[in-house]
Structure 1
Amino acid sequence: MMYKIIIVDDEKNIRDRLAHFFPWSEAGFEVVGIAENGVEALELIKLERPHAVLTDVLMPEMTGLELAKEIQKSYSDIKVVILSAYDDFKYAQEAIRFGVKGYLLKPLMKNDFFNVFTKLAEELREDEEAKAVDRVEELMLLDLIKGENLSQYADQWNQHTQSFRVAIFSFDRLFKEVSTFSIRQKITELAADFCNRYQVSFLFYGNSLIVLSTDSKLVSKKDLMPKIHLFIDSLRANLGDLFNNQENFVVGVGNPCTTYHEICQSYNEAVYAYSYKYFNEYETVIFYEDLAVDGDNGKQTQIQNLMLDHVNNIEHKLMESMKTGEITVVTQLVNQFFHPYRKACGLPIAEIRSSCSELIIILLFRLKEKGLSLSSIDQQHVLGRIYEIDSLKELKRWLTQMLETISFDLINKDKKDVNTYVLMAKEYVKENYQERITLEDISNRLFLHQAYFSAIFKKETGQNFIDYVNHVRVDKAVQLLRNTDYKIKVISDMVGFQSHSYFNKVFKNETGVTPVVFRRQ
């Protein structure tokens, strides 16, 4: 097998020489792309997903060491080799810190080339062999949790195994917020170390880590809980703030079973247990055995009968807000709407989402009947959001914000001179410019279709929304450059830019000079 490699150097003649002069196939590699800087290389990596990257150190836009750092962060399985004209210990030391596999000097000699890349190819082969072994175990565990192909595993469980139990670590919310690949890799490494220590099997399935515990005696909650907390502590110690927020993950644990045929049942119970997080935002580890799972169909009918009363009450309050000119305080109304659901935790989550959708549909229909159609609100987008939200707490917060926005829109429906959505967006940017802000984020927050919001913002301000965000950030950066001694890269991070090179580009477009020149003036 040939391993894919990308070559990165800002000098075209060196790129061409590296790509065509050296016998890559003899070392086990195929050159699948060349790039003239680190930024271009990252785009190429997304497309080609190479096994290795050979990069120069000193390049514009992004240095080789900065590229190595980004690769280590987002593509930790890719091997990086540095090529430099400088035999500088400082560069070599930095390269080691970013996991670089080799440090070669220009001009590159064939002996040095073979020494580094034949060893690299061997390391890649060893990695694949280890993955193949892990893959066999993963396929077995996948069959067991699905209850499929069970007969072929009969000989793999000895007679002393008396108990099985499945735990699921769900990272759905975490993976919505961060780059999934590098975090998934790190979690997998920590899970492998933990599972080797306790002789349990694990599998990443979707956005969840599935752990199968086996023992010669019953796998009790008392025995399992300390191990789960040890693994959670390991995640927090190695991944910091991502796991200090208990809303970023939840653990569901199924009941113990006595035969491997019943593992799929324990798995389904674990899935049910972690879905219970929807109702209880305070629990991180939820055992199926602790849940009251017998639903009461009578509660469902009672809740449906109450819904129309809530719709009428909310509509009345919103109409009152038009007369008083004050945004209705709807928190209490929303709490009343959801109160029956808190008492009926066993009610399917789908029923809760359905009731919330019906509330929105009926409310908008009633307002439309009175000639108060809110054309700026994208109903399909709003209804879709209901099914994306993964906790009752978040759904309550969202519905409160939604109803307050409707109230705000009703109050200002006759004000043609000022677009309230634009004012709200500007205010949000000024308060949150340090955070990641996209057109999609702000459209979701205002319950508007992306294209509609983009159009009204451009019409009101004469500029694109992202240009406005960058303008605010540059203004803040100017203040920091004038009044503090922070390094420019630190200031770039402080005002919300994800890339230092992009900050330099935007700053120069806004002010006419780079941040370095501006500070010297």
Structure 2
Amino acid sequence: MYKIIIVDDEKNIRDRMAHFFPWAEVGFEVVGIAENGVEALELIKQERPHAVLTDVRMPVMTGLELAKEIQTSYSEIKVVILSAYDDFRYAQEAIRSGVKGYLLKPMMKNDFFNVFTKLAEELREDEVIKEVNRAEELMLLDLIKGDNLSQYADYWGQHSQSFRVAIFSFDRLFKEVSTFSIRQKITELAADFWNRYQVSILFYGNSLIVLSTNSKLISKQNLFPKINLFIDSLRDHLGDMFRNQENFVVGVGNPASTYQEICRSYNEAVYAYSYKYFSEYETVIFHEDLNVDGNRGNQIELPNFMLDHVNKIENHLMESMKSEGKMAFGELVNHFFDTSKGIGGLPIAEIRSSCSELIIILMFRFKEKGLILPSIDQQHVLGRIYEIDSLKELKRWLTQMLETISFDLTHQDKKDVNSYVLMAKEYVIGNYHERITLEDISHRLFLHQAYFSAIFKKETGQNFIDYVNQVRVEKAVLLLKNTDYKIKVISDMVGFQSHSYFNKVFKNETGVTPVVFRKQ
């Protein structure tokens, strides 16, 4: 039996539909009734029905609004609309909302059987498709892991074929948007696009895995245009979230000549997309283009490389004490990473390890000299290195870290001063009229929100947002005293998004409202 819930604001109608129609004969069981769309959504969360029969005109949330919400959040649920109004506009909007049937009140038995018999058939077809897809997904999962390969010998071993794995990684995107809905949409687009090439797909973790098969060798020249077409399709259908190339990256393994080698192509694809860490511009990275084995013989040079850079950076930092911190560190950082890249094309883990080692040695040497670094929390610093997911960001972060150390060295007579707090204050004073949030300033300083919030509160005795509001109110006081601007205009000028919030904050800071203050 398929589960259905009935939604209607008139109790006698929903009771009649629930109890006097032969639901079992068409393969359905009524598992709940609701009197409006909001109540229906709660019921849907509990029961997860296969279908919903809903009235159009209801208070709180209409049937069409409910249908749109179901289409967005529960696209697998079928919706049938019931209306007392033979109005084509309702039918049009219902179709746009993805409904599977449109019935008029009073519902006739023939209409009931026609609509729900077809709906039950559609649900059965969906189940068959799901089973086929599930079997294909399990097989693809075994192939990329190299598990249970013998059971697929008959399926893949009949013909000589070429295989190639591509991985579309959406790790960064899923940090920014609701994972379930966007994942579902990407899966639908991927199935529609790749099915035309008879290509298998699987969502695994935060990545879409694409397995291409062909009787001929699958070359880069053959596969690359298709990947770009699919990326264009994602951008066309999903808008701004795919405009930024950093939101996703594609890694492509080398061709495999047997199905037993698919796992090798998959591992190469994983390795290839990890190279996004080193690239600022590439979206699609082929394993064949990487110099994987190029300079492995030079790994022995790493200790000398590290010692040389530690000495150079330490000397530069000590010089910054004499020049009051006005030294540039960008070139030193670039040279550090460029050299490390040349030593065997170090894996990401070793790049991070080198960066950690550099920081630890520098901190140890300054401690030996009796120099204090109040802005540097070693545990936080080392943890941050392993959270940054691109070489470009790591360079920026290390440059700022060296500038922070330089600040601390330059202000040894003010051992309690934290440079992050001063930088945040300077930013607020220069940009109070712009939108400033705790998240924005933390990102700008390469710090966790919680960590920055804690050090700011410890240093100043107040929350960061309270400090921002304090600065804005101080600027507003000057404008109220010295200009004739309207209070709402002043509210906008000093960066408040809401006039009522401005009034509230101003009164908290000064004891009076802006209107009373101006009259004093």
- What TM-score do the two structures reach when normalised by structure 2? 0.72
Q: Is the 8 A contact 1:57 1:83 kept in 2?
A: no
Distance 2:89 2:16 in 1: 30
SS at match of 2:360: helix
Supply the AA of the counterpart residue of 1:210: I
Aligned-pair distance for 1:356?
Answer: 0.8
Per-residue CA deviations over 1:220-257 (Å, capped at 9, x if unaligned) read 22222222222222222222333333332222222222
**Corresponding residue of 2:183:** 184
Supply the AA of the counterpart residue of 2:254: N
Per-residue CA deviations over 1:45-69 (Å, capped at 9, x if unaligned) read 8898776787998877x98877766
Supply the AA of the counterpart residue of 1:236: R
Larger Rg: 2
1:28 aligns with 2:29: yes
Supply the AA of the counterpart residue of 2:295: D
Matches within 5 A, 1:77-92: 77=76
Per-residue CA deviations over 1:330-385 (Å, capped at 9, x if unaligned) read 11111111111333463222111110111122223333444444455443333223
**Corresponding residue of 2:162:** 163
Distance 1:379 1:267 in 2: 37
Supply the AA of the counterpart residue of 1:433: R
* C-alpha spacing 1:66/1:510, structure 2 compared with 1 (3 Å): farther
Distance 1:407 1:192 in 2: 54
**Corresponding residue of 2:422:** 420
* C-alpha spacing 1:389/1:88, structure 2 compared with 1 (3 Å): farther
Distance 1:425 1:374 in 2: 22
**Corresponding residue of 2:351:** 352
Matches within 5 A, 1:370-519: 370-411=369-410, 414=414, 419-420=421-422, 422-423=424-425, 426=428, 430=432, 433=435, 439=439, 442-443=441-442, 445-448=444-447, 450-457=449-456, 460=460, 462-463=462-463, 465=465
Q: Is the 8 A contact 1:251 1:284 kept in 2?
A: yes
Distance 1:70 1:507 in 2: 35
Supply the AA of the counterpart residue of 2:227: I
Distance 2:55 2:401 in 1: 50
Deviates more, 1:154-163 or 1:71-80: 71-80
Distance 1:482 1:14 in 2: 47
Aligned-pair distance for 1:430?
Answer: 4.7
Aligned-pair distance for 1:308?
Answer: 2.5
Distance 2:6 2:359 in 1: 52
Q: Is the 8 A contact 1:174 1:242 kept in 2?
A: yes
Distance 1:409 1:104 in 2: 74
Q: Is the 8 A contact 1:2 1:28 kept in 2?
A: yes
Per-residue CA deviations over 1:402-425 (Å, capped at 9, x if unaligned) read 333343455567287994154157
Aligned-pair distance for 1:265?
Answer: 1.6
Count of paired positions: 482
SS at match of 2:224: helix
1:203 aligns with 2:202: yes
SS at match of 1:148: coil
Aligned-pair distance for 1:443?
Answer: 4.0
Per-residue CA deviations over 1:437-496 (Å, capped at 9, x if unaligned) read 555x64454355644533454574755649969x98xx99xx99978xxxxxxx9xxx99
Distance 1:84 1:461 in 2: 61
Q: Is the 8 A contact 2:36 2:59 kept in 1?
A: no
Distance 2:500 2:115 in 1: 37
SS at match of 2:147: coil
**Corresponding residue of 1:274:** 273
SS at match of 2:293: coil
Supply the AA of the counterpart residue of 1:381: H
Distance 1:504 1:222 in 2: 58
- Among all aligned residue pairs of Structure 1 and Structure 2, give the percentage whose two residues are the same amino acid: 65
* C-alpha spacing 1:120/1:31, structure 2 compared with 1 (3 Å): farther
Q: Is the 8 A contact 1:454 1:464 kept in 2?
A: yes
**Corresponding residue of 2:264:** 265
* C-alpha spacing 1:82/1:318, structure 2 compared with 1 (3 Å): farther
Q: Is the 8 A contact 1:304 1:355 kept in 2?
A: no
Q: Is the 8 A contact 1:200 1:213 kept in 2?
A: yes
- What TM-score do the two structures reach when normalised by structure 1? 0.72
Distance 1:264 1:188 in 2: 22
Supply the AA of the counterpart residue of 2:29: G
**Corresponding residue of 1:223:** 222
1:241 aligns with 2:240: yes
Q: Is the 8 A contact 1:167 1:267 kept in 2?
A: yes
The CA RMSD measured in Å over matched residues stands at: 5.1
Distance 1:146 1:259 in 2: 14
Distance 2:204 2:166 in 1: 12
Matches within 5 A, 1:65-214: 72-73=71-72, 76-77=75-76, 96-99=95-98, 126-157=125-156, 159-214=158-213
Distance 1:352 1:482 in 2: 52
SS at match of 1:325: coil
Q: Is the 8 A contact 1:4 1:32 kept in 2?
A: no
5+ long unaligned stretches in structure 2: 477-484, 508-520
**Corresponding residue of 2:479:** none
1:291 aligns with 2:293: no
* C-alpha spacing 1:130/1:320, structure 2 compared with 1 (3 Å): same
Supply the AA of the counterpart residue of 1:235: L
Distance 1:407 1:91 in 2: 68
Q: Is the 8 A contact 2:14 2:33 kept in 1?
A: no
Supply the AA of the counterpart residue of 2:425: L
Distance 2:335 2:37 in 1: 60
Q: Is the 8 A contact 1:171 1:207 kept in 2?
A: yes
Q: Is the 8 A contact 1:405 1:446 kept in 2?
A: no
**Corresponding residue of 1:486:** none
1:313 aligns with 2:315: no
Distance 1:76 1:481 in 2: 48
Q: Is the 8 A contact 1:37 1:59 kept in 2?
A: no
Q: Is the 8 A contact 2:167 2:270 kept in 1?
A: yes
SS at match of 2:256: coil
